[in-house]
Amino acid sequence: QVQLVESGGGSVQAGGSLTLSCVISGSTGASFHMGWFRQAPGKAREGVVTRSKDGRTYYADSVKGRFTISQDTTKNTLNLQMNSLKPEDTGMYYCAADSYPRSVATMSSLSPGGWTYWGQGTQVTVSS
C-alpha cells in the first residue's frame, strides 16, 4: 500500500522560505509521476508543480522562479523549496503520486484530477 506523508509546513512572514517534504512508502521498485498541489480556504485545489517519471517538470506561473521541486530517490522523498513566499501562497499543501501513465498534456496542465495517491497535507501560512 503506497502512502505519502508530507511535512515542513508552518507559519512565515512574506518573503520567507519553507521546505516541504513528502516521503513515499510502500513503493518498492515502482516509479511515479509526482506533484505538489495546494488548496486555500474556500478555493479549489490547484497544481503547484508536477514532475513526470522521466523528470520533466512543470510549474504554475504563480510560483515560477520562487519554488523548486527536487527528488531524492534514495530516500523516496519529494521536496518543495519555497522562497519569497507571499500571502497568496497560504493554503494546505498536498503531495500526490501516480504510477499509471499520464500524458504530457495532463502533467503540464497541473490538474489535480486523476491522481491515485494523496498525502494528508501540510499547512502553509504566510502573513503580510
Average pLDDT, the chain: 94
- pLDDT (0 to 100) of residue 74: 77
pLDDT-derived band at 50 (thresholds 50, 70, 90) equals very high
Instruction: Give percent of the chain above pLDDT 70.
Output: 98
Question: Once rounded to an integer, what is the mean pLDDT over residues 56-83?
Answer: 94
Instruction: Inform me whether the pLDDT recorded for 29 exceeds 70.
Output: no
Higher local confidence (pLDDT), 72 or 51 = 51
Question: Once rounded to an integer, what is the mean pLDDT over residues 18-37?
Answer: 90
- pLDDT (0 to 100) of residue 30: 75
Lookup: cell for 6: 508530507
Pair 20, 85: CB distance under 8 Å: no
* Tens-digit pLDDT profile for residues 39-49: 999 999 999 99
* Tens-digit pLDDT profile for residues 81-104: 999 999 999 999 999 999 898 999
